[in-house]
Amino acid sequence: MASEFLFLGLIMLITCSFALASDNSPLQDFCVADPNGPAVLVNGFACKDAKLVQTNDFFFSGLHLKGNTSNAVGSRVTPVTVAQLPGLNTLGISMARIDFAPWGINPPHTHPRATEILTVIEGSIQVGFVTSNPDVRLINKVLQKGDVFVFPEGLVHFQRNVGNGNAVAIVGLSSQNPGVITVANAVFGAKPDIPSDLLAKAFQVDVKVVDQIQSKF
């Protein structure tokens, strides 16, 4: 009986450890990413020798700078993930700045490995996410300066500047490498192309419409 309780306890401990964090918890003070290190297959980057770690491995400068929003969607994301800040390796967090031109959008996308929390620094931003099947319910709200909104991990979500001036948001993410899948790019810009007849059937439109959209990606 005692062994059964021990086994159940271990299962609960393992389950809770996966439920509490998107990324695994570190087993040392830090593990600064070493992208030029040995090709070790780990869930993250190999660690730099702790004796070679410098202050700048934990430092990033640039979130005070406005991103260039002169593009088709009118927004620019400045990420601070493990790729930009090696000290984030194994720590399970990252962040980003999002700049919006008037009526610019951050198109519908997902972060497959992270929950996102957003706070508005400037402007008015409409935010929303869509629940999973079968409800496919839109949860959305217009945020003002100082407001905070959270997007659950893996769900399709978006942001849009609904003001006539620029807007800025800062986001936090529960992974050192949250990943991003922009829905339109993934569906219509995959290489090689997803068959146009398949997409035409999925979206219930003519194949020519799909071909036209795919040509833009």
Mean pLDDT by 10 residues, the chain (217 residues): 43 42 70 75 79 95 96 97 94 97 98 97 98 96 98 97 97 96 97 96 96 94
- Report yes or no: 115 and 152 within 8 Å, Cβ to Cβ: yes
Query: What does pTM read for this prediction?
Result: 0.85
36 annotated to bind ligand: no
106 annotated to bind ligand: yes
157 annotated to bind ligand: yes
Q: What is the pLDDT of residue 41?
A: 55
68 annotated to bind ligand: no
- Match 């962040």 to its residue by tokens: 95
Q: What is the pLDDT of residue 121?
A: 98
Q: What is the pLDDT of residue 38?
A: 66
64 annotated to bind ligand: no
Q: What is the pLDDT of residue 5?
A: 39
